[in-house]
């Protein structure tokens, strides 16, 4: 039997202001168990789409169905119940700066369970072992490198064994070694937890190596989709420009500006 | 032509004034709803009281030095100035009364409140604002933990509990400062200093009213601090502006509330 998708976005539109829509009739589905990439240029609406999925915003039109429930119908209790099944890795980790690494990973367990302290200790160590930072449990977030902080945040977001993992730009600002570690962890954790992962990123080349399926977004719409191989072979000009990092293409290098000559006040222009 | 221009000009000003007033009223309404929500979701802060105790340490204990030292100096100045005036009327034995009543009724709550706003209030705003700017608040929401219940409420109650205690310590320190200057330095009779103070300071009319004042200031300052932090624009500039607003608004609120409370408490001749 075919399982229903874990996330279904149907004709979703959204704008922070009515006059400027950020998402325009987006439709996509995330199948269970997959690692799916949502890619596109900065400002194309992909982070907004992520916020729609995590129900930080509600669609102004259309339906976002996450873990079987339409987000716009959920009350606070239902929303929190849904989020307990989700994990989110923020771009820069968003660790609690007043708590140690241990405290950060223990936080969701302490807030949502009544487990005895020894068991919580074991679970925290288990999660930290999974990201290779059991030895850093006593450190404070300020003492961590960027890559380590993101791994701690990853351990924290999987503390409650989520069904759905969301990654917001997980590769930004990482050195090649940390990057390789994060990529491997995303895949391993997804498969060992039996979870589904959504990666929002503009690091296309890097992400194409991890994901099973890609949605490509531009100007608030899905303009291409397929497996990484489909995307690499795509003839769509925008996708080609983006995947190959070309300077000229449908996305101009120059921000709209008056004539160059006029700005330099050249005679005769 | 000229009048038309003038009319346009005046209308522009009126419009700006109107917009300013509307947005301020809107903000007060938002802050009130925030307070109501905060009080209704204080269960966690009270049930897991350790969270609130940590904030009492942060807002209260760490403010002790500035409160105690300031209290001592204010009391010493009161001793000097009070003696200077009282001895002209041959009433220098009443110095204890003057020092104690000034502190307990007014200076204790007001000055402690102002110091509390700039020491603890600004820190609360900056901390919550920076938590917001670094997405820690969003992360908490994503973990299905209500940040108002978990972060804001303990800070609010920590401040509300700390403030009357700090004001009481300020007054006590001030009385001691007045004693040091009046009795030890100038030589006012110690027995008269203490016994007149004991006879004149009334528990209900003076001390209780002072405690009520400090409690009201505590609620106002901490409310302003947590709201400004939570409402801060999540950038470096936004947090700095919010911190400034906390100190300015809190100080004005303390002084205005002090006038209102004093008018309610100390008129009608209920005290000599």
Q: Which of B142, B146, B150 to mutate to test the interface with A (most CBs of A within 10 A)?
A: B142
Nearest CA in chain A to B150: A111
Q: State residue B79's pLDDT score.
A: 95
Give the DSSP H or E segment for B55.
helix B49-59
**Does B135 reach chain A within 8 Å, measured CB to CB?**
yes
Sign of CA dihedral A93, A94, A97, A101: negative
Mean pLDDT of chain A: 86
Instruction: Give, for B228, the enclosing helix (H) or strand (E).
Output: helix B209-231
Euclidean distance between CA atoms B157 and A147, whole angstroms: 37
How near does any CA of chain A get to the CA of B143, in Å? 6
Determine the straight-line distance between the first and last CA of chain A, rounded to whole angstroms. 69
Residues of B (61-120) whose Cβ lies below 8 Å from A: none
pLDDT of residue A21: 83
Chain A residues with CB within 8 Å of chain B CB: 54, 56, 79-81, 83-84, 86, 88, 90-92, 94-97, 107-108, 111-112, 153
Ordered DSSP codes for A148-200: HHHHHHHHHHTTT--SEEEEESTTTT--HHHHHHHHHHHHHHHHHHT-EEEEE
Q: Does residue A246 have a pLDDT over 90?
A: no
Query: What is the structure's pLDDT at B224?
Result: 96
**How does pLDDT run across B187-237, given as a tens digit for each residue?**
999 999 999 999 999 988 899 999 999 999 999 999 999 999 999 999 999
A vs B, Cβ pairs < 8 A, gives: 46
Q: Is the pLDDT of residue A257 over 50?
A: yes
Q: Which residues of chain B have pLDDT under 70?
A: 1, 268-272
Judged by a CB distance cut-off of 8 A, whether residue B8 touches chain A is no
pLDDT of the residue at A268: 56
Give residue-wise pLDDT tens across range A128-177. 998 888 988 899 999 998 888 988 999 999 888 899 999 998 888 788 88
Task: Name the burial class of residue A254, with classes exposed (0-12), middle (13-18) and buried (19+) by CB atoms within 10 angstroms of its CB.
Answer: exposed
A185, burial (CB in 10 Å: exposed 0-12, middle 13-18, buried 19+): buried
Among B139, B146, B150, the residue with its CB nearest the CB of A90 is B139
- At B93, phi and psi to the nearest 5? -70, -20
CA distance A261 to A133: 57
Out of B136, B142, B145, whose CB is closest to A54? B142
Summarize the confidence of residues A83-94 as an average pLDDT.
88
Q: Which residues of A touch B144 (CB under 8 A)?
A: 79-81, 83-84, 111-112
> Which residues of chain A neighbour B139 with C-beta distances below 8 Å?
88, 90, 94, 96, 153
**Chain B residues whose beta carbon lies within 8 Å of the beta carbon of residue A86:** 142
pLDDT-based confidence at residue A222 (cuts at 50, 70, 90): confident
Residue A244 distance to chain B (closest CA, Å): 32
Q: Which two tokens stand for residue A125?
A: 């160590």
Residues 6 or more apart in contact with residue A170 via CB below 8 angstroms: A89, A91, A150, A182, A186, A199, A201
- Chain A nearest-CA distance from B131, in A, is 8
* CA distance between the termini of chain B: 66
Calpha distance A147→A125 (Å, rounded): 19
Question: What is the full DSSP assignment across B73-132?
Answer: HHHHHHHHHHHHHHGGGT-GGGHHHHHHHIIIIIIHHHHHHHHHIIIIIHHHHHHHHHHH
Instruction: Give the CA-trace dihedral at B128, B133, B137, B138, to 10 degrees.
Output: 170
Contact B241/A at CB under 8 A: no
Q: Give one word for A267, left, alpha or beta, with left for phi > 0 and alpha for psi -120 to 50.
A: beta
Q: Is B136 helix (H, G, I), strand (E, B) or coil?
A: helix
Looking at residue B272, its pLDDT comes to 43
Per-residue confidence at A241, pLDDT binned at 50, 70, 90?
Answer: confident
Nearest CB to B145 within list A86, A88, A111? A111
Nearest one of A125, A36, A115, A110 to B143, comparing CA atoms: A110
Mean pLDDT, rounded, for A210-218: 88
Query: For residue B138, which residues of chain A lie inside 8 Å, CB to CB?
Result: 56, 90, 94
Q: CA B197 to CA B18: how far, in whole Å? A: 52
Where on the phi/psi map is residue A17: left (φ > 0), alpha (ψ -120 to 50), or beta?
beta
From the list A83, A90, A96, the residue facing B144 with the nearest CB is A83
Interface test with B, best of A103, A111, A160 (most B CBs within 10 A): A111
* Contact across the interface for A94 and B141, Cβ inside 8 Å: no
- Cα–chain center distance at B214: 7
Contact across the interface for A56 and B141, Cβ inside 8 Å: yes
> Minimal Cα–Cα distance from B233 to chain A, Å?
16
Write the pLDDT tens digit of every residue in A180-204. Answer: 888 888 888 888 888 899 999 888 8
Interface touch B136/A112, C-beta < 8 Å: no
Specify the pTM. 0.85
d(CA A18, CA A195): 35
Residue A18 has pLDDT above 80, yes or no: no
A7-14 and A61-66: which strand pairing?
A: antiparallel
B136/A97 Cβ within 8 A: yes
So what's the pLDDT on residue A267? 66
Compute how many other C-beta atoms are within 10 angstroms of the C-beta atom of residue A81: 14
- Total residue count of chain B as it appears in this document: 272
CA dihedral A125, A130, A135, A137 (to 10 degrees): -50
Among the partner-chain residues B134, B145, B150, the one whose CB lies closest to the CB of A94 is: B134
Return the closest-CA partner of residue B266 out of B213, B228, B209, B208: B209
């Amino acid at each position: 039997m075919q399982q229903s998708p874990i996330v279904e976005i149907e004709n979703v539109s959204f704008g922070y202001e009515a006059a400027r829509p950020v998402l325009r009739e987006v439709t996509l589905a995330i199948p269970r168990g997959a690692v799916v990439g949502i890619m596109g240029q900065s400002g194309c609406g992909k982070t907004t789409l992520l916020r729609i999925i995590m129900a930080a915003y509600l669609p102004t039109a259309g339906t976002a169905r996450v873990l079987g429930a339409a987000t716009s119908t959920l009350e606070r209790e239902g929303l929190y119940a849904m989020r307990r099944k989700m994990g989110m890795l923020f771009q820069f980790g968003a660790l609690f700066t007043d708590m140690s690494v241990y405290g950060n990973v223990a936080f969701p367990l302490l807030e949502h369970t009544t487990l005895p302290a020894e068991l919580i200790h074991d679970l925290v160590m288990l999660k930290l072992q999974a990201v290779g930072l059991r030895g850093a449990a006593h450190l404070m977030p300020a003492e961590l490198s960027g890559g380590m902080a993101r791994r701690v945040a990853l351990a924290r977001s999987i503390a409650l064994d989520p069904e759905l993992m969301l990654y917001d730009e997980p590769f930004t600002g990482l050195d090649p070694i940390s990057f390789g570690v994060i990529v491997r962890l995303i895949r391993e954790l997804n498969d060992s937890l039996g979870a589904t992962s959504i990666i929002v990123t503009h690091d296309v080349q890097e992400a194409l190596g991890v994901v099973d399926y890609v949605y490509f977004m531009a100007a608030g719409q899905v303009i291409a989709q397929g497996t990484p191989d489909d995307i690499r072979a795509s003839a769509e000009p925008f996708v080609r420009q983006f995947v190959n990092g070309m300077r000229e293409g449908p996305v101009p290098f120059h921000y709209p500006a008056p004539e160059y000559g006029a700005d330099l006040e050249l005679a005769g222009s | 032509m000229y009048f038309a221009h003038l009319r346009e000009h005046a209308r522009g000003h009126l419009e700006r004034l109107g917009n300013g007033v509307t947005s301020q009223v809107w903000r007060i309404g938002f802050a009130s709803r925030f307070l109501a929500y905060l009080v209704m979701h204080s269960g966690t802060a009270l049930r897991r009281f350790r969270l609130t105790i940590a904030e009492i340490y942060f807002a209260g204990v760490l403010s002790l030095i500035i409160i105690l030292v300031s209290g001592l100096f204010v009391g010493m100045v009161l001793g000097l100035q009070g003696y200077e005036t009282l001895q002209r009327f041959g009433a220098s034995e009443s110095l204890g009364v003057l020092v104690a009543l000034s502190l307990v009724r007014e200076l204790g709550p007001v000055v402690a409140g102002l110091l509390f706003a700039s020491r603890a209030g600004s820190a609360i705003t900056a901390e919550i604002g920076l938590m917001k700017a670094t997405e820690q608040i969003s992360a908490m929401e994503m973990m299905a933990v209500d940040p108002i219940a978990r972060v804001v409420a303990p800070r609010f109650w920590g401040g509300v509990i700390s403030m009357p205690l700090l004001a009481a310590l300020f007054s006590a320190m001030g009385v001691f400062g007045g004693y040091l200057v009046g009795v030890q330095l100038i030589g006012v009779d110690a027995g008269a200093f203490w016994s007149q103070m004991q006879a004149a300071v009334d528990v209900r009319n003076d001390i209780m009213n002072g405690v009520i004042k400090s409690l009201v200031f505590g609620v106002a300052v901490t409310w302003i601090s947590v709201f400004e932090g939570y409402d801060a624009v999540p950038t470096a500039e936004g947090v700095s502006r919010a911190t400034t607003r906390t100190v300015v608004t809190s100080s004005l609120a303390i002084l205005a509330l002090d006038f209102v409370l004093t008018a309610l408490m100390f008129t009608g001749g209920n005290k000599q």
